[in-house]
Amino acid sequence: MHPITIDNLENENFLNLINQYDPLQLIAIVDDNTAPFLETIHQITDLNIDAIQLPAGEQFKNINSLAGIWKDLTDNHFRRDGLIINLGGGVISDIGGFAAASYKRGIDFINIPTTLLGMVDAAIGGKTGIDFFDFKNQIGVIKQPKGVFCDVNFLKTLPKEELLSGFAEVVKHGLVNDKKYFEYCTSTPIENLDWNKVVKGSIAIKSNIVKADPDEKGIRKFLNFGHTIGHAIESHYLEIGNPILHGFAVAKGMIVESKLSVEAGLLSEDEFIQIENTLTKLFPKVSVKENDIPSIIQKMKNDKKNHTDAINFTFLQSIGKAVYNQTASEESIAKALFIC
C-alpha cells in the first residue's frame, strides 16, 4: 500500500516527494472546481505546475476525457519519469490514476483528494478507471499511487451535499467493520463532526482492509457493501440523464442490501431497522419506480463484481461485521428495491 499523510499540505512529506521529480515533469490533473487549488500548490512548492483541466462531473469520467489526457501528455512530451498530481475528487483520482497507469505503460502519480469521498475512499487503495457506456468503473486497473495527501482544509469549500455524499462511505466503513465508529459518526450532527478524526478513522479501516487484500480477492469485497445496488442505481440515473450523487445511491444501496441481509438470515430485523432509520435521516431519499427495476437489475447482472451468473453482494451479519460473496434472487432484489 502507498503512504498516506493526513495533515495540511505544508507537511514535509509532500514537499519531499515533489522534490524527487524534475519540476518540468510534474503535471496536475484538475477539474473546473479544483483548478483554483493550483494556487495553493504553487504557494507551497513555489512551482508553476502545468495542469490538464477537465469539466467537473462523473459524466466526464469517460474514454474521451482519458484520450484528451493522453493527447496532452503526448503533445507536451511528458516523460516516463514524470509525476501526475491528481488534485480533485473521486473522478479526478480515478481517471488521472488510470491515465498515469496506462501512459507509456505506467508513470508515477499521487492523489490530493479535495472531497470527503476522495479522502475516505476513491483516492485510497489504488483503484483507477473510467465509466464505459453506462457501466461505472468498467475499464480500469488497480495501481497504487506514490502517496496520498489528505488535507481536511479542502472540505471547508465543499458544498454540503458533496460532503454528505462522501459521508455515505464513512457510514459504510462503520457498518462493515466497526460498530463503535458507526455509532460515533451517526450520532453526532454532521456539522459537529471532527473531520480529522473521521478521515483518520475511515482511512484506518480502509487501509487495513486494502493492505490485507489489495487485489480484492477476499476481504476487500467488504468495501463493496451497498455498491452492487448503489452502482446500478447510479448508472441508471446517469443513463436517463438525471445523474445523482454517488453517496446517495450508495446510501440507498446500503438500505436495500441490509434488507437482503435479513432475508438471507444473516442480519437481525432490529439492526436492519436501526440502519434504515439512521440512513433515512441522514441522506435524501432515492426512489426507484417499478418500471425502472428491470433496467437496474440488468445493470447488476453486468457488474464486474460477479464471478458466476449470479449477482454478487456483500451482506451484513451485524453492524460492524460483513460477509462477502453472497447472492439473492432477482425477485428478492426487485422486492427489496421497491419497498425500501
**Binding residue count for ligand GLY, defined by CB under 6 A:** 5
The answer to the question of residue 231 lying near ligand GLY (CB under 6 A) is no
Q: Which of 58, 94, 121, 271 binds ligand GLY (CB under 6 A)?
A: 121
Choice among 172, 227, 236, 299 that is catalytic: 227
Catalytic member of 169, 234, 257, 271: 169
CA distance 324 to 327: 9
Find, among 321, 324, 330, the residue nearest to 268 by Cα.
321
220 is an active site residue: yes
Q: Of the ranges 33-41, 121-129, 280-288, 318-326, which one interacts with ligand GLY (CB under 6 A)?
A: 121-129
Is residue 127 annotated as a catalytic residue, yes or no?
A: yes
> Contact at 8 Å (CB) between 250 and 166?
no
CB of 317 to ligand GLY, least distance (A): 19
d(CA 189, CA 178): 19
Q: How are beta strands 313-318 and 321-326 bridged, if at all? A: antiparallel
Q: Which is nearer to ligand GLY, 163 or 205 (CB)?
A: 205
Chain-centroid distance, C-alpha 194: 21
> Is 111 a residue of the active site?
no
Q: Which of residues 254-313 bind ligand GLY (CB under 6 A)?
A: none
Q: Closer to ligand GLY by CB, 2 or 127: give it.
A: 127
Decide: is 127 part of the binding site for ligand GLY (CB under 6 A). yes
| Known catalytic membership, residue 227 | yes
* Annotated catalytic residue within 206, 252, 259, 299: 206
Measured from the CB atom, is 40 or 144 closer to ligand GLY? 144
- Please report whether residue 223 would count as binding ligand GLY according to CB under 6 A: yes
b vs e for 190-227, b when ≥16 Cβ sit within 10 Å of the residue's Cβ? eeeeebeebbbbbbbbbbebbeeeeebeebbbbbbbbb
162: annotated active-site residue = no
Catalytic residue among 2, 61, 127, 236: 127
CB of 220 to ligand GLY, least distance (A): 5
**Closest approach of ligand GLY to the CB of residue 238, in Å:** 18
Per the annotation, the verdict on 307 as an active-site residue is no
Told to check if 125 binds ligand GLY by CB under 6 A, we report yes
How many C-beta atoms surround the C-beta of residue 308 within 10 A?
A: 8
* 246: annotated active-site residue: yes
- Give the DSSP per-residue string, 314-339: EEEEETTEEEEEE---HHHHHHHHHH
Q: Which residues pair with 87 in a beta bridge?
A: 112
Which is closer to ligand GLY, CB of 125 or CB of 145?
125
- In the three-class reduction of DSSP (H, G, I as helix; E, B as strand; rest coil), residue 145 is classed as coil
Query: CA angle, 285 as apex, 312 and 177 as ends, to 5°?
Result: 45
Give residues 183-222 in contact with ligand GLY (rule: CB under 6 A). 220
Dihedral sign of CA atoms 111, 117, 120, 124 in order: negative
Nearer to ligand GLY, 220 or 259 (CB): 220
The residue from 61, 136, 172, 220 that is catalytic is 220
Whichever of 220 and 236 has its CB closer to ligand GLY, that residue is 220
Beta carbon of residue 103, minimum distance to ligand GLY (angstroms, whole number)? 22
Q: Which residue has the cell 419506480?
A: 289
**Residue 93 or 114: which CB sits closer to ligand GLY?**
93
Q: Is 216 a catalytic residue?
A: yes
Give 107-134 as a DSSP string: -EEEEEE-SHHIIIIITSS-EEEEEETT
CA distance linking residue 34 with residue 315, whole number of Å:
36
234 lines the binding site for ligand GLY (CB under 6 A): no
Q: What is the distance between the alpha carbons of residues 62 and 138, in angstroms, rounded to a whole number?
A: 10
Where along the sequence are the contacts to ligand GLY (CB under 6 A)?
121, 125, 127, 220, 223
Active site residues: 105, 127, 169, 206, 216, 220, 224, 227, 231, 246
